[in-house]
Chain A
Amino acid sequence: MTELLPVDRYLVDSLPTIWFGVVVFSLAMYVALDGLDFGIGMLYATRDEHERETLLAAFGPIWDANEVWLVAFGTTLLAAFPPIYARLLSGHYLLSIAIVMGLVVRGVAPELREQREDPDWRRRCDRLFVFGSTVTPLLLGVLVGSWAFGTPTLSAPSLLTGVGLLALCVTSGAAFVAAKTSGSLADAMVRYGTTATVVYLVGVVVLLAVVALTNPSNVRALLLSAPALGAVLATVSFAGAGLAAARLDRHRLWFGTAFGLSFALVGLVAVLLYPRLHPASGLTVDAAVVSPLALNLTTVLGLPVLALVLWYFKFLYGTFAGPVDGSEA
């Protein structure tokens, strides 16, 4: 194998950058897909017993797989840029641990709920589910904000990113449920989703204003670059299209725009991080990337598998396409 792969040069010169793209793509997939699960978890608090069953049925078959994108993101970051993985997590120790604990609570609650018909038991599981689904994306947003802006955990840019991600998740969740249901439930989702989109837009504007004013880690110049402006423009376009689609009851299209919104957010993060992968320490892509042989190997073995994974997801979502109702749960 060693003879087949170049040992001292990258398969293509831009391979480190391509892997930065793969890391970003994995994060975007996570935000888009598990984001809808988080959103459903938050919207769940507003629903009655019957509609809760419908919400669980809507995301039941897909959320285990959605969650794996976080692991894919983390391990890809480790495989391509180990020092960044090490610094990001050890530098945000309590925050990272709180995120994984939130994921644990969120992950087991719906599964445990279904094991017993006792109303008290279900209420307790439901509370944990809503709690985990709210806290996890909030903290994850704070982590991503701290990472991208190089700011401390408790700072306006980090916290605003957290709130923004929360609103984005509600938008995705509402759009997904609306696309899978009809009637009063779908109407309620349009209301919540519309509000969340507006909150998200306002949040992004405030965030960008705060960052432009305070200029942490000298990101102001990056914010005015063409790719960053493109990401902001994409955000506004997807949000506008989403609001229109929601109003016109084109719910699948609406979900598509929520997907685009997630990619636009992570795209903005990517612009801020390239090529300084870790603004807090200034470590760049070229300084942090693994040696050519390791990255070439990960490319040859990993990229085709990633394509296969996307095919699985198409199959999974295709299998469970179409409306759900509570009687299936």
Chain B
Amino acid sequence: MSATGALIDGTVLLAQNNILLSPELASRLQFGWTITVHILFAALSIGLAPYIVYFTWKDVRSDDPAYARLRSFWINVFAVGFVMGTVTGIPMSFQFGTNFPRFAEVSGELIGGPLAFEAKMAFFLEAVFLGILLFGRERVSDRTYVLSSILTGVGAWLSGFWILVVNAWMQTPRGFELVERNGVEIAKLTDPVAAFFTPRMPWMYVHMMNASVIAVTLVVAGIAAYFVWRNRDSVAWNTALRMAVVVLLITAPLQALHGDAYGRHVADTQPQKFAAMEAHYETGQADLHLIAIPRSLDALTDPRTDNLFTISLPGLGSFLASGGDFSAEVVGLHEYDENPPVALVFWSFRLMVGLGFLFVGLALWGGNRLRKGRLADSGRYLRAMMLSSPLGYVALLTGWYVTEIGRQPWVVQGVLKTSDAVSRSLTATEATGTLVAFVVLYLALLAAFGAVLKWLIEGELERMGVRTVDDTSRPRLPWVSGDD
């Protein structure tokens, strides 16, 4: 059953029974929703970690109060984000067993090791040294303190590594053979090096880590721009804004270049996903749609060239896929029995790429102003950065949707279908009920995190003397230094 088919069947079931989704669809939506929320916080840890290390180091080394301010603000965000990341991540590892037990059983030898290494090598490191970083300022030496910030960051980046080892294996599985055990055909590990260092792994790691840094940098830049906009003389927040612009100048163009090469790699290794990214149905020469605008509502849910107003570069799809041949044949979606939900992949991909170019533009604009030494003078630039601050996350999520939804109907490409991975004992009632519960719970978490961010921002405004707020809303955490 294709995902679109499942969606339709699920909707029919929904209509027939009024409320219930099929176990498969509900499980997929549940996992998709939990990872959507979790990844926001996981990326926050990864992207913010280098900033925390830098601010901590500068704070310990220099007596510049600007770094104390920046550190105090961002470590609060990091700490709350870490807790959110932990609690939203634990259900995901459980879901491999509760909702997708066939996936756990079939792929256990391949994914279990890396997941266990993630917990032991990375997660413990991050959690233990974050405890020291938040509560241990008076209890450890300066050197140990800075080292704790580094180890916390290493933990976050190493976590990403092992998780992407697993995910990359699911995209381009290698290093195993299928054998029968306990009446089930399972993947037996035969070559760990091949299994861990799959063709996809380095691509994913660079792209994901860089995406996390970009997403967080845009948040840092947006918040810094807001504070600078409210108080042009704030030394701390001018520093943060300059830093963010410099980081964006490096990371945004890198992501565009890397993304281009990554696309070619996807065309080589997952042609079906590549075809879905371009809504390329007929095998043959592929164009590249630079801009696609739906002519009708139909085109939103079923993007096909006829239904779209496009600005396309003829043959460039073939050129990219083949690495230089404008007339190369690109396999179309009609060649496959089942396809991923093409619309989700097609529009997600367009949104991600479009935003990537926007970030390059923002970086160049900011770089130019920075060169002239007039970064904070432009109200227009400050407003642009404020408006853009959530967009890095939008790009990150749509990128994940391309990767994960684009792999359907497979959970492990070419090895195990998602429909075969779902629990046989799961009922529609259980699956739908828990889906609703997760939606409500995670929405509450998002709302709580948004509220915390708002309170932190209000508290900072108050410290800057820009506005006074009711005393009850002042954030009060043990590790907030009374720096000014």
Contact = CB atoms under 8 A, between A and B. Distances in A.
B63 interface: no
B131 A62 contact: yes
A123 to B, nearest CB: 13
A76 B441 CA distance: 27
Contacts of B124: 65, 68, 72, 309, 312
B101 A87 contact: yes
Contacts of B182: 83, 283, 287-288
A108 B97 contact: no
A226 B88 CA distance: 42
B128 A2 contact: no
Interface stretch (A44-52, A93-101, A174-182, A184-192): A93-101
B140 A319 contact: yes
B193 interface: yes
A67 B86 contact: yes
B116 A290 contact: no
Given A67-B127, A78-B104, A302 B120 contact: yes
B135 A60 contact: yes
22 contacts: A2-B191, A67-B86, A72-B124, A74-B93, A75-B120, A79-B112, A82-B186, A85-B97, A85-B104, A89-B97, A89-B104, A90-B101, A93-B98, A105-B441, A108-B87, A118-B472, A287-B181, A294-B192, A297-B113, A298-B112, A309-B124, A319-B132
B117 A302 contact: yes
B123 A68 contact: yes
Contacts of B474: 117
Nearest to B193: A1
Contacts of A87: 101
A79 B116 contact: yes
Given A79-B112, A85-B108, A294-B113, A57 B478 contact: yes
B437 A97 contact: yes
B96 interface: yes
A202 interface: no
Contacts of B113: 79, 294, 297-298, 301-302
Given A87-B101, A115-B455, A320 B108 contact: no
A104 interface: yes
Given A89-B96, A301-B117, 6 more contacts: A60-B131, A101-B91, A111-B80, A287-B182, A302-B113, A316-B131
Interface of A: 1-2, 5, 7, 57, 60-62, 64-65, 67-68, 70-72, 74-76, 78-80, 82-83, 85-91, 93-94, 96-97, 99-101, 103-105, 107-108, 111-112, 114-118, 283, 287-288, 290-291, 293-294, 297-298, 301-302, 305-306, 309, 312-313, 315-316, 319-320, 328-329
Given A90-B426, A107-B87, A305-B120, A293 B189 contact: yes
Smallest CB-CB A-B distances: 5 pairs: A82-B108, A89-B97, A79-B112, A86-B101, A90-B101
Nearest to B445: A108
A305 to B, nearest CB: 5
A107 B140 CA distance: 26
Nearest to A298: B113
Interface string B410-443: 0000000000000101100010001001000100
A290 B98 CA distance: 20
A242 B111 CA distance: 42
A263 B327 CA distance: 67
Nearest to B476: A117
A67 B451 CA distance: 25
B128 A316 contact: yes
Interface in B5-60: none
Interface in B171-194: 181-182, 184, 186, 188-193
A75 B88 contact: no
Given A71-B93, A116-B473, A302-B120, A78 B131 contact: no
B450 to A, nearest CB: 12
Interface of B: 79-80, 82-84, 86-88, 90-91, 93-94, 96-99, 101-102, 104-105, 107-113, 115-121, 123-125, 127-132, 134-136, 139-140, 181-182, 184, 186, 188-193, 423, 425-426, 430, 434, 437, 441, 445, 448, 451-452, 455-456, 471-478
A1 B113 CA distance: 15
A61 B109 contact: no
Contact of B127 (A65, A96, A290): A65
B83 A111 contact: yes
Given A89-B101, A312-B124, A94 B189 contact: no
A62 B112 CA distance: 26
A188 B70 CA distance: 42
B189 A291 contact: yes
A294 B80 contact: no
B131 A68 contact: no
A83 B193 CA distance: 24
Nearest to B120: A305
B116 A100 contact: no
Contacts of B478: 57, 60, 114, 328-329
B108 to A, nearest CB: 2
Contact of A111 (B79, B101, B119): B79
A68 B155 CA distance: 13
A108 to B, nearest CB: 6
A93 B83 contact: no
Contacts of A64: 82-83, 86, 127, 130-131
Contacts of B193: 1-2
A89 B90 CA distance: 13
Most buried by A among B98, B110, B437: B98
Contacts of B104: 78, 82, 85-86, 89
A154 B456 CA distance: 45
B472 A70 contact: no
B105 A79 contact: no
Contacts of A2: 191-193
Contacts of B115: 75, 78-79
